[in-house]
Copies of this chain bind each other. A is one copy, B any other.
């Protein structure tokens, strides 16, 4: 798709969950330098929340989310998008297979976080990684050859249970409950001496961002939005794809 001002069109494979997709879109809009509508980045968004739960699938060792995600990817292809973003950390378990099935680049959320950590000169050992059980079990952040994302602190069982609850509250739209829970967990982690927290599930910013200064977080949603905006704007100064 050619847009008048040569911004690249982005495809969002979303709905995992729906509010996280909206949060991701909001971050893209906020990061885009624009004085009027037409300077904003064109987005095609496949927000189809019927994709089976990713974390449960990883834990149960089933492949149920793959084909529905592939169907969404095909729709984005047909709409002429130039890159794909998946605002769901756990879904990145299928990133490699989805990438192999398309000519489109799918920007990886862990690459985006790696970049954010490097830019801010933060070492993983100083951070606690908060994520779904699926993301943890699959080691999505512990990919090979990625020293920047090895060695994160991980929550204990009680803390993980609080993370699970927060995610569930957000998916139910119970944001004030999620934020109460988020504030309590941050309090616990601060007392334990945790210096920073990686929000490695896209529901978590909705629970935790309002409770604390943004510097306390490495926000994976924000990092992916930064990569997305960088990609979309690139065409203005670079070559036309």
Contacts and interface: CB of A to CB of B under 8 A. Distances in A.
A29 interface: yes
Interface of A: 1, 3-5, 7, 9, 15-19, 21-22, 25-26, 29-30, 32, 34-53, 75, 78-79, 168, 171-173
A103 to B, nearest CB: 19
B9 A48 contact: yes
A211 to B, nearest CB: 19
A29 B173 CA distance: 8
30 contacts: A1-B48, A3-B48, A4-B50, A7-B50, A15-B37, A15-B42, A16-B37, A17-B40, A18-B29, A18-B43, A21-B25, A22-B22, A25-B25, A25-B47, A32-B173, A34-B171, A34-B173, A36-B168, A37-B51, A37-B53, A39-B49, A40-B49, A42-B48, A42-B49, A43-B47, A44-B75, A45-B45, A75-B78, A75-B79, A78-B78
- The number of times this chain is found in the oligomer is 2
Given A17-B37, A26-B22, A46 B44 contact: yes
Nearest to A43: B47
Given A48-B3, A50-B5, A29 B19 contact: yes
Nearest to A78: B78
Contacts of A29: 18-19, 22, 173
A45 to B, nearest CB: 4
A8 to B, nearest CB: 12
Given A30-B173, A173-B29, A15 B44 contact: no
Contacts of A173: 29-30, 32, 34
A15 B43 contact: yes
A39 B44 CA distance: 22
B18 A40 contact: yes
Contacts of A52: 38
- List the 3 closest pairs (A to B, CB-CB), nearest first: A45-B45, A40-B49, A37-B49
A49 B37 CA distance: 5
Nearest to A25: B22
A201 to B, nearest CB: 13
B18 A37 contact: yes
Contacts of A36: 53, 168, 171-172
